Structure 1
């Protein structure tokens, strides 16, 4: 299926679809360099959540459970693209006139603090700890 973007929101949606990479969402098979055109796989299931929800209380509960499961997969932590932290640090350091090492040290400190808050709140700290590890590795490179 060809999707043509008509605005910034739709272009950002294309970025998110590429990031999800087909996990609980359609796959982006190809994209134009400007992000205005996406070639998407076609979702071809004959089942309908709306029809399931209209079958009664059990069907409504089942449709809701399916929606929640998909939302959970879409919002699950995902691996960071290789080299992204280094690219972002270079870009930000240059634009803000900061030393690379100072920015990386700040990233490591912020991520460590974020992990501590996650632990205190009883939520998973893995993403924050991974960012701290990447920042510390980049500092040593």
Structure 2
């Protein structure tokens, strides 16, 4: 594991962990499958540039309801329940079970958004979340329209709950306790925003992401399952597609799919408004 081994070492001792697989590096963190007293867990270390700090607070607040449990957390170190099931929502979606996968993620969102007795943590707002879109260069005319819709939606929002902030097929995993969310960003805002990312996923599966009829079905399912206003669901989907494109532009990634998704979603959002 090289440098990663040195990074994990203090926490392996502190939390009495045994390595149970190879380390994994993502753009925001380093992870290591481990065992604590024989139980499968995951050790996660956030990188200094990571934006997932609020996600640790959100994960703790979810308290294992719809998400993996936090076993221990300190600073940028997190030890959490490891989801070890074999089923995949991406595989389900691309092999004819797209609507089943959508319903599973809607049920996960419902569990995450349920009221809890503890006060919610202080988290970044949707205004901050959309900053990259608001400040995006005029790379494509649809981005300005996405930004305008985002502002209207945020200004007219009547609720603020703890949101996952990055709900998609690869962030809801199979486990012995059922389907559980991982890797929340931690955002405070309207529930309808939390399903917006589903319209851009599964990642790389253009035939689903750019399918207008599929977007309409998705909006109908999540609106019914979560008692949401379909107009706001589609509005946030349109706005978030623009935000995704803005992030791509920031990172030097081709924003084509996000822009095409925004263009596909725009008339649906307008028709639902």
Give the TM-score normalised by the residue count of structure 2. Answer: 0.27
Is 1:78 paired with 2:124? no
2:58 equivalent among 8, 13, 16: 16
Higher relative contact order (CA 8 A, sep 6+): 2
Paired residues for 1:1-141 under 5 Å? 1-6=42-47, 7=49, 9-32=51-74, 35-56=75-96, 59-81=97-119
Q: CA shift at 1:45, angstroms?
A: 1.0
Aligned position for 1:132: none
Unpaired runs of at least 5, structure 2: 1-41, 122-158, 160-226, 228-273
Give me the CA root mean square deviation.
2.2
* Number of corresponding residues: 80
Distance in 2 separating the partners of 1:67 and 1:2:
24
Give the TM-score normalised by the residue count of structure 1. Answer: 0.51
C-alpha offsets along residues 75-125 of structure 1, whole Å, 9 cap, x if unaligned?
1211125xx9xxxxxxxxxxxxxxxxxxxxxxxxxxxxx9xxxxxxxx9xx
Distance in 1 separating the partners of 2:50 and 2:114:
24
